[in-house]
Amino acid sequence: MLVDPSDEASQVLLGRAFRIAEKVVVPANLLLARLGLLARLYEPMVQALPPDAGADMRREGFTPGLVRTHLAQTRTYLDELAAFRDNPPRLGGIPVTVISGTRTGSGMSARTRADANASHAHRAAQSPAGRHVLARNSGHYVPLTDPEIVATEIRGLVESARTTS
């Protein structure tokens, strides 16, 4: 089960413009975290969470340490995705469900969203039991805006595993 993932088939994600944007945005987020302002940008998302998860997110999700981890990740993950694209694993009969948001926002333009969803469809098609599901009410944060779709698809994968084993 992949929910609106960064996918190695994405042309935008592995392009030069995205790499440049990350070199600007992530250090800016670090400054905002140090100033205690980063959490304010995400407050609408945090408010959509159950109270206990929202409290955890407010406490841990916007710290300078977390952003430094993201910064370290940005140094390698795009190259790792490119390597994964060039040498993908063989899925065999493993069922793969990919859920895509359909809305723009949260840093995703219409072009980026279209590219992401095309890469998601490609990923699902790599499995003989693959499914590509569109979350019509969602942008990137599908578990917050369409949690029932995520739960339904997980149940479907579990039921499928039970009937094939």
| Whole-number pLDDT of residue 90 | 82
What ranges in 61-146 are assigned the alpha helix state H?
Answer: 64-74, 77-86, 110-125, 142-145
Give the structural domain span for 86: 2-164
* pLDDT tens digit sequence for 77-96: 888 988 988 998 888 888 99
- Looking up residue 136, the CATH number of its domain turns out to be 3.40.50.1820
Cα of first residue to Cα of last residue in the chain, in angstroms, is: 18
* pLDDT tens digit sequence for 106-126: 888 999 999 999 999 999 999
Number of domains into which the chain is organized: 1
Backbone angles phi, psi at 117, to 5 degrees: -70, -35
| Whole-number pLDDT of residue 165 | 65
Mean pLDDT on 148-153: 97
